Amino acid sequence: MSLALAPLDVSVEVEANLPCRKFDPDLWFSDSPTQLELAKSLCGDCPLRVECLAGAVERAEPWGVWGGEIFERGAVVPRKRPRGRPRKEDLARDAELRVEAEARLAANGLATSRNAVWLAA
């Protein structure tokens, strides 16, 4: 049984406290790197963060913030880069953030061979 399809005992009261229910849903699907980072931070205290992330990994969500991670073209990305050619220091920071994102996925049990997720460069 997958985590994404596992029945959840969620009351209406808990749903009302979910950040994605309190704030503008467009925030989780923004093109702005700053807004996506805000959405990621709002997911931090969500009681359904792990289930949300597991479901997004399983579905290979094409884009948006799910479970505190940014998805782009079905892969987890450490951060959304602005348009244009990246600076060298941005490339180095992206490599560090990619390692951190891999660690978060592994900590949630999502980096197994069954649920392999490719981190986009």
Separation CA 73–CA 63 (nearest Å): 6
Q: List Cβ neighbours of 92 (8 Å cut-off, separation of 6 or more).
A: none
Residue 43 marked as a ligand binder = yes
DSSP result, 94-113: HHHHHHHHHHHHHHTT--SS
- Is 50 exceeded by the pLDDT of residue 115? no
Residue 20 marked as a ligand binder = yes
Residue 2 marked as a ligand binder = no
Residue 112 marked as a ligand binder = no
- Digit-coded pLDDT (tens) for 1-38: 444 444 555 554 556 688 888 889 899 999 888 899 99
Q: Are 35 and 52 in contact (CB under 8 A)?
A: no
- Digit-coded pLDDT (tens) for 70-106: 998 888 888 776 667 767 777 777 778 778 888 888 8
DSSP element (H, E) containing 55: helix 49-59
Separation CA 6–CA 89 (nearest Å): 42
Q: In what order do the strands lie in the sheet with 69-72?
A: 63-66, 69-72, 75-77
